[in-house]
Amino acid sequence: MSLLTIGTVAFDSIETPYGKVEKVIGGACTYISWSASYFMNDIHLVSIVGEDFPKDELAALEQRGVNLDGLEIVKGGKSFFWAGKYHNNMNSRDTLATDLNVLADFNPILPEKAKSCEYVMLGNLTPSIQAQVLDQLDGSQKLIALDTMNFWMDIAMDELKAVIARVDLLTINDEEARQLSGEHSLVQAAEIILAMGPKYLVIKKGEHGALMFFEGKMFFAPALPLAEVFDPTGAGDTFAGGMMGYLAMTDEISFENMKRALIAGSAMASYCVEDFSLNRLKTLDKAQVITRIEAFKKLMDFDFPLDF
Amino acid sequence: MSLLTIGTVAFDSIETPYGKVEKVIGGACTYISWSASYFMNDIHLVSIVGEDFPKDELAALEQRGVNLDGLEIVKGGKSFFWAGKYHNNMNSRDTLATDLNVLADFNPILPEKAKSCEYVMLGNLTPSIQAQVLDQLDGSQKLIALDTMNFWMDIAMDELKAVIARVDLLTINDEEARQLSGEHSLVQAAEIILAMGPKYLVIKKGEHGALMFFEGKMFFAPALPLAEVFDPTGAGDTFAGGMMGYLAMTDEISFENMKRALIAGSAMASYCVEDFSLNRLKTLDKAQVITRIEAFKKLMDFDFPLDF
């Protein structure tokens, strides 16, 4: 199956307690595509960059099976840039700069092939642009997922709710789930959010794992405890990419397969945070992905006879 | 097998966003004993109360198989009292009062039968008193567990480390693990703490579950997501009681059985928080305990074929 992914392709400058990097490759769409590429290789990327974006980075994506027909390269333009600094505990960060640059004029036009991708991952963007992408799809999609953030809840809640109503799977973090629903309990928040339209809700809790809700059922995927978390940037997008890549590869939409997709996403995210930028994601192979999925099996596996 | 439990038997006054209760039954030893009693009924409680402690509460414990020969009742004395108020998110609380009362003179003397209990749970207390209990044991124990808190790390770190070196299992929360080890990463913290003596370490993360470390292996038990958390008081002790009760019942000390014990403890804790004080714990039956353990199985169960 094929996967359409839309979102930012960008530069990041990042400071963590482990070091500092300037203008490295980032962006939701970049992380989603690299992560998904370990499961399948028919990926259509729709985004916008400036002429300053490195050609070899684009070539590397193409080598992973990522079709860039939907990537607009603006002559003389500058790519989206984000700078942030993580605090000591890595759980919070300050945004130091957000330069929209070419993203300010992003008007996504889907190439013909992208319109019929069975699986769609709408990365975090202005809700109206996410809606504009949905408008161009040919209606043959099997699963459409959407990621968003609190920023859009603050300034464009109505547009956001309108686009949430049109997707099958929503991924947000715990604080965003509380903001979107007005409920503190994630169980109650999930009930309210699922009533907004999506069939599946995945609540990301960072180092505390991810919770999936579907028709009154729950599944929990922990984050793998790591000796060192080097840089959390892109972990949520890497999670989404692994999840959607696994779903597109297996082409089965069921609660049982969604569970596996959550584990696949968590495995990819656990690699992502081990180095800055896409450094770790770029050096993986399938055997390493499988090893990490096995680590999750061990972390969660137990057998409990109930005849005591 | 038999379980010795030592710690406070007390009164609590608690305020949460759901309500307020005055001078209800509390104390680590009380929660531990009630929780363990759903798995086995040869429990020896060692603690101290004043004459003000309700006789019917003691009778209720005895009916659950709790031997109170080691409970000192101080004539004219007042029982330990704690008052606290939880903030809106239930993750933090303010202590409003801590009246030691008879606990200030607690000098535990183990009855003969208590000295040979195969399983021992040292609830949170002054480390020197926990050591005093260890000195009285007959050496036939199969598993000794210890719970403690940051307060003792602040004022009695050396005594605490000395007693930690003598136990098999340590239970602390994530912030305490960081304080005890000086490491932020829980994986690195666990390595340092296990080098202090215990074979097993359980790091409690409240609503984010619990992590167990043993000989380079990890197991994660999530907390059950609940629609309403009414009062988190006693959840950690209820967890420890369920864990130790299950171990004493099954009498098997292995990583596989410790996993089950973690789930049993998590199941009991998930009931504890559904009401104030011991209200919910007192109304359970075995079928309900099993139903809750099944809920954990469903929450964590997945199957992931690795031949993709």
pLDDT in tens, A262-277: 999 999 999 999 999 9
Please give the Cα distance from B249 to B245 (Å, whole number). 6
Instruction: Give chain A's domain count.
Output: 1
Contact A74, A50 (CB under 8 A): yes
- Inter-chain touch A308–B249, beta carbons under 8 Å: yes
Ramachandran category for residue B213: left, alpha or beta (phi over 0 → left; psi -120 to 50 → alpha): beta
Chain A residues with CB-CB distance to B194 below 8 A: none
One-letter amino acid of B141: Q
Indicate the average pLDDT of chain B: 97
| Mean pLDDT of the A186-210 span | 97
Which helix or strand (DSSP H or E) is residue B106 part of? none
Which pLDDT value is given to residue B168? 98
Which pLDDT value is given to residue B18? 87
Domain that holds residue B106: 3-300
Q: What is the pLDDT of residues A111-140, one digit of tens each?
A: 999 999 999 999 999 999 999 999 999 999
Cβ-based neighbours of A100, under 8 Å, separated by 6 or more: A80
* The Cα angle at residue A212 between residues A208 and A216, in degrees rounded to 5: 135
Which pLDDT value is given to residue A150? 94
Please give the Cα distance from B39 to B281 (Å, whole number). 13
Contact A123, A147 (CB under 8 A): yes
Quick check: is A305 in a domain?
A: no
Which pLDDT value is given to residue A73? 98
**B80-86 and B93-99: which strand pairing?**
antiparallel
Which pLDDT value is given to residue A92? 83
Torsion angle (degrees, nearest 10) of CA A261, A263, A264, A265: 90
How would you class B24 by CB atoms within 10 Å of its CB: exposed for 0-12, middle for 13-18, buried for 19 or more? middle
Which helix or strand (DSSP H or E) is residue A294 part of? helix A286-300
Quick check: is A233 in a domain?
A: yes
pLDDT at A156 exceeding the cut of 90: yes
| pLDDT tier, A303 (very low <50, low <70, confident <90, very high otherwise) | very high
Please give the Cα distance from B275 to B273 (Å, whole number). 6
Nearest Cβ partner of B263 from A205, A208, A304? A304
Please give the Cα distance from B50 to A259 (Å, whole number). 52
Residues of B near A (Cβ–Cβ under 8 Å) read 39, 88-89, 184-188, 205, 208-209, 211, 217-220, 222, 225-229, 249-250, 256, 259-260, 263, 290, 293-294, 296-300, 302-304, 306, 308
Nearest Cβ partner of A220 from B188, B218, B299? B299
Ramachandran category for residue B306: left, alpha or beta (phi over 0 → left; psi -120 to 50 → alpha): alpha
Minimum distance, in Å, between the CA of residue B250 and any CA atom of chain A: 9
pLDDT at A74 exceeding the cut of 90: yes
Structure tokens at B164: 């930690």
- Inter-chain touch A290–B303, beta carbons under 8 Å: no
**B66-74 and B43-50: which strand pairing?**
parallel
* The Cα angle at residue A120 between residues A118 and A123, in degrees rounded to 5: 170
Quick check: is A308 in a domain?
A: no
| pLDDT tier, A298 (very low <50, low <70, confident <90, very high otherwise) | very high
Chain A residues with CB-CB distance to B185 below 8 A: 225-229
Quick check: is A268 in a domain?
A: yes
Quick check: is A132 in a domain?
A: yes
- Inter-chain touch A211–B227, beta carbons under 8 Å: no
Quick check: is A263 in a domain?
A: yes
Q: Percentage of chain A with pLDDT > 70?
A: 100
Quick check: is A307 in a domain?
A: no
SS3 A96: strand
Q: What is the pLDDT of residues A212-237, one digit of tens each?
A: 999 999 999 999 999 999 999 999 99
Q: Percentage of chain A with pLDDT > 90?
A: 96
Please give the Cα distance from A226 to A271 (Å, whole number). 10
Torsion angle (degrees, nearest 10) of CA B157, B159, B164, B166: 160
ipTM: 0.94
Minimum distance, in Å, between the CA of residue B294 and any CA atom of chain A: 8
Which pLDDT value is given to residue A90? 79
Minimum distance, in Å, between the CA of residue B208 and any CA atom of chain A: 6
**Could you tell me which residue, B136 or A88, shows the higher pLDDT?**
B136
Q: What is the pLDDT of residues B282-298, one digit of tens each?
A: 999 999 999 999 999 99
| Mean pLDDT of the B172-186 span | 96
Q: Domain of A292: which CATH number?
A: 3.40.1190.20
Nearest Cβ partner of A187 from B186, B225, B306? B225
Quick check: is B307 in a domain?
A: no
Q: How many CB atoms lie within 10 A of CB B250?
A: 18
Minimum distance, in Å, between the CA of residue A104 and any CA atom of chain B: 37
Q: Hey, of B90, B217, B308, which one would you mutate to test binding to chain A, going by the most A CBs within 10 A of its CB?
A: B308
Q: Hey, of A220, A228, A243, A259, which one would you mutate to test binding to chain B, going by the most B CBs within 10 A of its CB?
A: A220
- Inter-chain touch A209–B222, beta carbons under 8 Å: yes
| pLDDT tier, A17 (very low <50, low <70, confident <90, very high otherwise) | confident
Q: What is the pLDDT of residues B131-143, one digit of tens each?
A: 999 999 999 999 9
Contact A16, A230 (CB under 8 A): yes
Contact A134, A163 (CB under 8 A): yes
Which helix or strand (DSSP H or E) is residue B306 part of? none
Residue owning tokens 């006879």 = A305
Residues found in chain A:
308
pLDDT at B91 exceeding the cut of 80: no
Q: What is the pLDDT of residues B189-248, one digit of tens each?
A: 999 999 999 999 999 999 999 999 999 999 999 999 999 999 999 999 999 999 999 999
Q: Hey, of B173, B230, B257, B302, which one would you mutate to test binding to chain A, going by the most A CBs within 10 A of its CB?
A: B302
| A vs B: CB pairs below 8 A | 96
Contact A68, A44 (CB under 8 A): no
| Mean pLDDT of the B28-45 span | 98
pLDDT at A250 exceeding the cut of 90: yes
Question: CA distances (Å), B159 to each of A70, B128, B137, B203, in order?
Answer: 65, 6, 19, 20
